[in-house]
Amino acid sequence: MNAIEVLSAGPMTTVQDRGRPGWAHLGVPPSGAADARALELGNRLVGNEPGAAGLEATLAGPSLRFRSATVAALTGAEARAVVGGRPVEPNQPIDVAAGEVLEVGGYSNGVRLYVSVRGGIAVEPVLGSRATDLLTGLGPTPLQEGDVLPIGAEVAAPPQHVAERPRLQREPVLRLLPGAQAGWFSRDASAELAEGSWTVSGASNRVGVRLEGPTIERIRREELLSQGVVTGALQVPPSGQPILLLNDHPTTGGYPVIGVVHASDLSLVGQLRPAQRVQFEVNHGSQP
Amino acid sequence: MSDITIRPSGSLASLLELPDNAAAVRVARRLRAECKRLIDVVPGHATVLATWEGEDPTDELLALAEAALRDDDAPVDGATVAIPVRYDGLDLHEVARLTRLSPEELAERHLRAEYVVGFLGFAPGFAYLLGGDDRLRVDRRAEPRQRVPAGAVALAGPYSGIYPRESPGGWQLIGSTTAVLFDPARPSPALLSPGDRVRFTAA
């Protein structure tokens, strides 16, 4: 069987695809690749269906042995990598011979690197997705040394070179649209958001990116009844230090949402690294 | 004047604020049935979150939601689900003390009420049940537990709930059930859906 062996999973590697949209009313988080654009590019490079599953590694690694000859691609975070001892370029199809080992080092920029393999990772889907959901435990467990992952047949086209060269920014600017409780905060709070420089906390994960910076003050103090929340929502807990919800977020939340990152900028959120700085461009929208 | 306020929720979602939970359940059903472009329709306590891809359907959502509230003579017909409970929770005596009831009276009041699934959240299959006995309102625990067992039946504020799997949790535990709240292999993975009615029975 065509398969890959996990020699080392690095700090955290999971299987990801487009996740489980459509189940949120039953409490199932969206899950899926945090940098969806990078996984989509990887699938294009190896000629997969856009929804095929790949590996999402975090901060460093993984090391994988390919049992059969295939085509792979590395996208997302920037890192040095070798296949069979040869240095390989990111964002390109990579020919891999049977038995060769892919080794990825620590990431110099970004936090999540995607390994796409022609045919896709073919673990058993759960609710239509192969994604690991770290909040609820749905999907496969995070990879461990010694795991063997089956490769599927979700191919759509021959592998292809793509001119796209995504660049990760040192201090990304995220477009922020008003959230449902924008009115619970003063104009000053909105200005703090736009003018402040925010630092990504080390306590961030696929559930949420915690930001450290000026304290965001509420002007309305009542308790919020639970409401549905989206990936990219900027929640403000009582500490006043906001949390940006990522893909494994709970489907409902009780903290006021001051803003929501534009859907086109979510892939940037998925690459935010602990201690990195980030800014918001606050768009007040057309609503009064 | 409309009873519905539409709040923005980013580039691909809107949050509809509604008068109460019954309205939220009703509107969520209508949107799910009639607006096929929506991806997720998520009722909250008194809100419905609708998400989509492509063109913004908010105007259509508002019209559908208003129609759903106008047709309020049509009852929301949910299933009725019986859940067997053993009143053996770790906080049973504490809740009895807080509510000045005996554990037996507490169990009796919890069994007597009829509940409606207001919405789900927190974990797959975790239903926020409304309609319980007002006398049983207690706050969450001051210190959440790191580990609440699967099947724990719990109280917090206006809600009853059942933990679908072992997880951290801050609600007051009054009992336990063997019912399986969530199983992704079932055709309907969640035992309880918004609008369903629930009765607890003595196990």
Establish if A288 belongs to a structural domain.
no
Q: Tally Cβ neighbours within 10 Å of residue A158.
A: 10
Question: Residues A143, A94: one domain?
Answer: yes
Establish if A160 belongs to a structural domain.
no
Q: Do A180 and B7 touch (CB under 8 A)?
A: yes
Question: Residues B65, B84: one domain?
Answer: no
What percent of chain B stands above pLDDT 70? 97
- Asked if residues A177 and A259 have their Cβ atoms less than 8 Å apart, the reply is yes
pLDDT value of position A287: 46
Reading the block at residue B111, the tokens are 């069994």
Contacts of B48 in chain A (CB under 8 A): 228
Please state, in angstroms and as integers, the Cα–Cα distance from residue B136 to each residue in A138, B10, B50, B97, B111, following that order: 33, 38, 33, 11, 11
Question: Residues B191, B107: one domain?
Answer: yes
pLDDT tens, B120-145? 999 999 999 999 999 999 999 999 99
Establish if B75 belongs to a structural domain.
no
Q: Do B15 and A227 touch (CB under 8 A)?
A: yes
Alpha helices in chain A (DSSP H): 36-46, 187-195, 266-269
Question: Residues A238, A188: one domain?
Answer: yes
Of A126, A227, A261, the CB nearest to B44: A227
Question: Residues A132, A202: one domain?
Answer: no
pLDDT tens, B88-103? 999 999 999 999 999 9
Question: Residues A28, A71: one domain?
Answer: yes
Establish if B97 belongs to a structural domain.
yes
Question: Residues A9, A146: one domain?
Answer: yes
What are residue B84's DSSP bridge partners? B201
Question: Residues A143, A42: one domain?
Answer: yes
Establish if A287 belongs to a structural domain.
no
Q: Using CA atoms, how far apart are residues A201 and A275, in angstroms rounded to an integer? A: 6
pLDDT value of position B2: 73
pLDDT tens, B107-123? 999 999 999 999 999 99
pTM (2 decimals)?
0.95
pLDDT value of position A284: 67
Question: Residues A109, A206: one domain?
Answer: no
Question: Residues A25, A74: one domain?
Answer: yes
Question: Residues A127, A194: one domain?
Answer: no
pLDDT value of position A275: 96
Of B39, B70, B101, which closes a domain? B70
- Asked if residues B124 and A27 have their Cβ atoms less than 8 Å apart, the reply is yes
Establish if A146 belongs to a structural domain.
yes
CATH of the domain at A187: 2.40.100.10
Q: What is the pLDDT along chain A (288 residues), one digit of tens a residue?
A: 699 999 999 999 999 999 999 999 999 999 999 999 999 999 999 999 999 999 999 999 999 999 999 999 999 999 999 999 999 999 999 999 999 999 999 999 999 999 999 999 999 999 999 999 999 999 999 999 999 999 998 899 999 998 877 788 889 999 999 999 999 998 888 888 988 889 999 999 999 999 999 999 999 988 899 999 999 999 999 999 999 999 999 999 999 999 999 999 999 999 999 999 999 999 765 543
Question: Residues B111, B142: one domain?
Answer: yes
Q: Do A226 and B119 touch (CB under 8 A)?
A: yes
Contacts of A26 in chain B (CB under 8 A): 120, 124-125, 182, 189-190, 193
Domain of B52? 5-70
Specify the number of domains making up chain B. Answer: 2
Eight-class DSSP state of A215: P
Domain of A198? 173-282
Question: Residues B61, B93: one domain?
Answer: no
pLDDT band at B73 (very low <50, low <70, confident <90, very high): low
Contacts of B11 in chain A (CB under 8 A): 177, 260, 262-264
* Composition of chain B by helix, strand, coil, percent to 5: 25, 35, 45
CATH of the domain at B96: 2.40.100.10
Specify the number of domains making up chain A. Answer: 2
Non-local CB neighbours of B166 within 8 Å, separated by 6+ positions:
B147, B148, B149, B150
Establish if A185 belongs to a structural domain.
yes
Q: Using CA atoms, how far apart are residues A108 and A131, in angstroms rounded to an integer? A: 25
Q: Tally Cβ neighbours within 10 Å of residue B63.
A: 13
Q: Do B121 and A262 touch (CB under 8 A)?
A: no
Q: Do A250 and B122 touch (CB under 8 A)?
A: yes
